[in-house]
Structure 1
Amino acid sequence: MTATIPLAIAHDYVTQRGGAEKVVLALHRAFPDAPLYTTLYEQATTYPEFSDVEIHTSWLNRVGALRRNHRLALPFLPFAAQSVKVPAECTIASSSGWSHGFATAGAKIVYCYSPARWLYQTDTYLGQDRGLRRAALLALRPWMRRWDRAKSKTATTYFAISTVVQERIRDTYGIEAEVLPAPHSVDPEAPKEPVVLDDFVDEGFYLCISRLLPYKNVDKVIDAFRELGKPLVVVGSGPEERRLAEMAPDNVRMVKNISDDQIRWLYSRSRALVSASFEDFGLTPIEAATFGKSAIVLRWGGFLDTILEGETGVYFDQPDRGAIVDAVRAHEAIEWDPERLRAHAETFSEESFARRLREEIQRHTSLDETSPNR
């Protein structure tokens, strides 16, 4: 395979709105001429900015049902991933399990959110799911682990999104990865659009932004706010959506499929962010901090890299109702400094993120600061 373009970006699948997709858009802003290679792309369910990106997909993209629900594609994704050919002198692979397996013509710089959760943290990933999906995954897991570990060896460089992921990469692949925190891309001065919350309060509410998956523990946050009786807005969608909606008390509102303008409105009107998730990075507290808002989060994983205890947020030690209730009450006893919060958020800039990637690209290729992909 002959390299025909200087630089490309790769990502597992572009079918959702989440932190990983925000990183890919940040990569696109840093390298606007680089095309994006992926297994699946569904414009209707991801960020609208992707419509401006040159996107190349795998053969799997022809199946509409899989574009709309990438979890159904799991048994086919290894075959789709290794069928993707990236004809670039250098590829930045944004990966949580698949794009590091794409065939590349030149250097492959992997930006890793985590070794695949469904392979190495199966119980956490599936939660209480005891159906066919669990059975299928357990049957495929031995082969998929061999595939995954073999593909990790094809990388030129590994970056980890956080220290906990750095340790996970070391334990899983035997690779020493440099930690490169993800950038935030929120502009607090950009337009804001109110979110319709019926007769709910329109400011001073707590905010939980999350994909609705078992390991995100949104149910524990809802349980805590049932006891607290304080207003909570949950933003997100996913397999847990119906169950969470059914259990939500009157002081909780659930919304989904909202615009960036509406997300900015929610951040700006909120009291603080709350998350009980087992996060590999923890981008939402940084986004909240750009609006001068503090966070209440689980003392785990990526949050340890993004929260300064007592300055930008408070921790709780277990994802359970009592611990969250105590943390919210402790948070309310602290006088938070919005300017300190904003200054902390600025340390996670797109400029520093892109600068480190450019340095690594130049180490392995002939690309330099005059490159059109700069």
Structure 2
Amino acid sequence: MATVEIAIAHDYLTQRGGAEKVVLALTRAFPDAPIYTTLYDANLTYPEFDQHEIRVSWLNRFPILRKFHRLALPLLAGAASTTKVDAKHTIVSSSGWAHGFHTSGSKIVYCYSPARWLYQPEAYLGAEGFTAKRIALAVLSPFLRRWDKRQASTATKYFAISTAVQQRIRDAYNIEAEVLPAPHSIDPTLPQEPVDITTVPGADNGFYLCISRLLPYKNVDVVIDALNSLALPLVVVGAGPEERRLQLAAGPSVLMVKNLTDGQIRWLYAHCTAVISASYEDFGLTPIEAATYGKPSIVLRWGGFLDTIREGKTGIYFDEPRSELVRQAVVQSGQQPWDPAVIKKQAELFSEERFAARLIEEISKQDQ
């Protein structure tokens, strides 16, 4: 296979989330670049990936791993280590695996976080008891930490998605990473597709919006509990291991949906009152995407949100993921005179053009 000028690498393309949106932004910046990944299922991720050349690892032969990528945990280090990228420059989108791909040229890593399951296991696992996943992590962690640090050292350049992740990279790898905020990919001028919210009392007059993977550290249960107690309409968009438990916790004012189109997401942003997140986010694209519609955010004072929200101008913080604090912040937000023009201006700081320009500049440096 001939060497290409630029390649893109990503952990796995089996879900829809912020990291996958960043990869799509990379494909728009480098449209001819093939994408290397361990697992790919066109039905489980964004349909735009089907327009690009996807080169997968041997793991992709097993359909069950494409559907449940967490089952592949014991195999992913091996799959990453045997993935060869023949390119002059490889831009690696990684939160734990793709930085281990072998590259023939420069390796520019864009890091969402050093692997949570290795360095923040309690946040990753949540309240899970003595489960098979917890046992597997306990057994594999010493080996995976050594592997992970060794692979990180092979990078030519490290970018961090936020200042919080920059510190985490410093602590885990002793690498000084440059902060490069992720771009939003929302175009508010594109068509919208209505979402049926008629089952939620009062939603026609406005609703709160939470878009998140349903994982323990996302703390969606805290948001649901807060809005249940306020009896205010809430739309939760997402899927994940916590889905069944959260469905049971959702009251009559909460609508849970998943697998929405981009047009439906745009409609929700355009019609919501504000977005809410109690998640421990390394960056958090949702508030920026909502800001393109002039909508404020109510978010946890933590991590990447600290880089993107102007308190009192584009959003409100609460200090801990506790439902009573979320309730107070929602009430405060409802009393705040928000200026949509100011909020939209903040979103412009996180454009794809700025993001791509910095990566192109770095590639040019590597060519010198």
**SS of equivalent residue, structure 1 residue 202:** helix
- Give the letter for the 2:57 counterpart: S
Determine which structure has greater relative contact order: mean sequence separation of CA pairs < 8 Å that are 6+ residues apart, divided by chain length. Answer: 1
Structure-1-length-normalised TM-score: 0.96
Which residue of 1 is the match for residue 121 of structure 2?
122
Report the alpha carbon displacement of residue 365 of structure 1 after superposing the two structures with TM: 2.3
Deviations 1:169-206 (A, max 9, x none): 00000000000000000001101101123432235100
Q: 1:337 aligned to 2:339? A: yes
Runs of 4+ in 1 over 6 A off after TM superposition: none
Contact 1:207 1:273 in 2 (8 A): yes
Q: 1:149 aligned to 2:149? A: yes
Contact 2:198 2:204 in 1 (8 A): no
Which residue of 2 is the match for residue 70 of structure 1?
69
Which residue of 1 is the match for residue 357 of structure 2?
355
> Could you tell me how far apart the structure 1 residues matched to 2:68 and 2:52 are?
22
Q: 1:318 aligns with which of 298, 312, 320?
A: 320
Which residue of 1 is the match for residue 139 of structure 2?
139
> Could you tell me how far apart the structure 2 residues matched to 1:305 and 1:204 are?
27
Which residue of 2 is the match for residue 276 of structure 1?
278
> Could you tell me how far apart the structure 2 residues matched to 1:365 and 1:122 are?
39
Contact 1:26 1:183 in 2 (8 A): yes
Q: 1:176 aligned to 2:176? A: yes
Identity value in percent? 64
Name stretches of at least 5 consecutive residues in structure 2 with no aligned partner.
none
> Could you tell me how far apart the structure 2 residues matched to 1:82 and 1:156 are?
17
Deviations 1:298-335 (A, max 9, x none): 00000000100000000000100110011111111111
Report the alpha carbon displacement of residue 282 of structure 1 after superposing the two structures with TM: 1.2
> Could you tell me how far apart the structure 1 residues matched to 2:35 and 2:199 are?
43
> Could you tell me how far apart the structure 1 residues matched to 2:277 and 2:80 are?
32
> Could you tell me how far apart the structure 2 residues matched to 1:356 and 1:3 are?
27
**SS of equivalent residue, structure 1 residue 6:** strand
Report the alpha carbon displacement of residue 288 of structure 1 after superposing the two structures with TM: 0.3
- Give the letter for the 2:350 counterpart: F
Report the alpha carbon displacement of residue 4 of structure 1 after superposing the two structures with TM: 1.1
Report the alpha carbon displacement of residue 339 of structure 1 after superposing the two structures with TM: 0.8
Q: 1:286 aligned to 2:288? A: yes
Contact 1:203 1:270 in 2 (8 A): no
Report the alpha carbon displacement of residue 3 of structure 1 after superposing the two structures with TM: 7.0
> Could you tell me how far apart the structure 2 residues matched to 1:60 and 1:325 are?
44
Deviations 1:124-150 (A, max 9, x none): 101122211110111100000000000
RMSD, matched Cα? 1.0
**SS of equivalent residue, structure 1 residue 347:** helix
Q: State the number of aligned residues.
A: 365
Which residue of 2 is the match for residue 25 of structure 1?
24
> Could you tell me how far apart the structure 2 residues matched to 1:24 and 1:132 are?
31
